[in-house]
């Protein structure tokens, strides 16, 4: 009754490009809890571009030569810049925070405001003002520091996915407590949260991979689903009750996630939640069929009405009922 329903549901989901590793994920997602969403590439399209620039224009090529060593969506925005003739060496990346390397004898660091502050201390008031202005406009600021001095700020824009607001609303109507947990600047995260109808206290920015992991682990035993696509989400995905990797995610996400979505956007997440509830309904229905068969068969046996021929008919009939119930159910 149970494994047939689960295997049939997983097969139906795969046809919709929702790849599920096991039945535990379906069972857990059928019970609402916390739904934690990453921002970049999950709520937004992950199609980054540099839409604002402040500071030294000559640093564009140098920053691009360092950022090209990263697979993070923010780093991809720098790929449009011309870095020919510039080569970065000794590149070291801190997942979800920033990257550094040596260019033409300079030590260049590019990353979030909190990351640069952790390396060099608080930035001057002028830099802080530009960062807050960018973030308030929904643009993620990337600070570029050379030899300890912030000399430029790149404003990275990433449009919200068309289905994000409606999908978040559908999750909430299903009983899920939706939150946003992102490594981007807090003001940029708040801007996105406002667009999808979330309260300010349900969205948190400047979260490191360790912060994300701690948030998932401090759930107190309730069901926690984590949706993300980056290397900085991998630990949180692995620790969540159900980790969901979205389309275009890094290889580490595929290894850590319990479910992988082969289609972009959050609409497949809503389908996954609905399909999980339908799968549990099929399991309960199959158990009712099995129980009814056993009640009838045992009653016949006790009263002496169970003949070998009747048993030979009832047993496969019971099995076929459960098989048909599982494979004809429209779970996904």
- Tell me which residues are annotated as active site: 38
Rg of the Cα trace of the chain?
A: 26
CA distance linking residue 247 with residue 262, whole number of Å? 5
> Which residue's structure tokens are 């643009």?
139
CA distance linking residue 157 with residue 47, whole number of Å? 8
**Which H or E run contains 92?**
strand 88-94
Phi/psi zone of residue 304: left (φ > 0), alpha (ψ -120 to 50 degrees), beta?
Answer: left
CA distance linking residue 145 with residue 152, whole number of Å? 7
């Amino acid at each position: 009754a149970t494994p047939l329903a689960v295997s049939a549901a997983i097969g139906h989901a795969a046809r919709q490009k929702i790849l599920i590793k096991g039945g535990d994920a379906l069972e857990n997602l059928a019970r609402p809890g916390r739904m934690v969403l990453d921002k970049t590439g999950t709520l937004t399209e992950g199609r980054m571009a540099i839409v604002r620039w402040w500071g030294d224009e000559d640093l564009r090529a140098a920053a691009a030569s360092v950022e090209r060593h990263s697979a993070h969506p923010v780093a991809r925005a720098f790929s449009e810049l011309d870095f020919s003739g510039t080569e970065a060496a000794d590149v070291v990346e801190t997942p979800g925070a920033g990257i550094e390397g040596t260019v033409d004898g300079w030590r260049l660091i590019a990353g979030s405001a909190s990351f640069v502050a952790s390396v060099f201390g608080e930035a001057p008031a002028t830099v802080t003002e530009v960062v807050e202005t960018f973030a308030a406009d929904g643009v993620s600021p990337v600070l570029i520091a050379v030899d300890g001095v912030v000399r430029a700020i790149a404003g990275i824009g990433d449009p919200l996915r068309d289905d994000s607001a409606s999908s978040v609303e559908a999750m909430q109507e299903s009983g899920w407590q939706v939150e946003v947990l992102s490594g981007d600047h807090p003001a940029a995260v708040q801007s996105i949260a406002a667009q999808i109808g979330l309260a300010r206290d349900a969205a948190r920015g400047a979260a490191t991979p360790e912060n994300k992991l701690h948030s998932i682990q401090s759930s107190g035993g309730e069901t926690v689903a984590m949706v993300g696509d980056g290397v900085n989400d991998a630990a949180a995905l692995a620790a969540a009750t159900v980790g969901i990797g979205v389309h275009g995610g890094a290889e580490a996400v595929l290894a850590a996630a319990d479910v992988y979505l082969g289609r972009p956007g959050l609409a497949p997440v809503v389908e996954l939640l609905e399909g999980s509830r339908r799968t549990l309904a099929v399991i309960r229905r199959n158990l009712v069929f099995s129980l009814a068969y056993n009640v009838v068969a045992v009653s016949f046996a006790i009263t002496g009405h169970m003949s070998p021929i009747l048993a030979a008919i009832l047993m496969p009939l019971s099995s076929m009922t459960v098989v048909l119930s599982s494979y004809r159910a429209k779970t996904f």
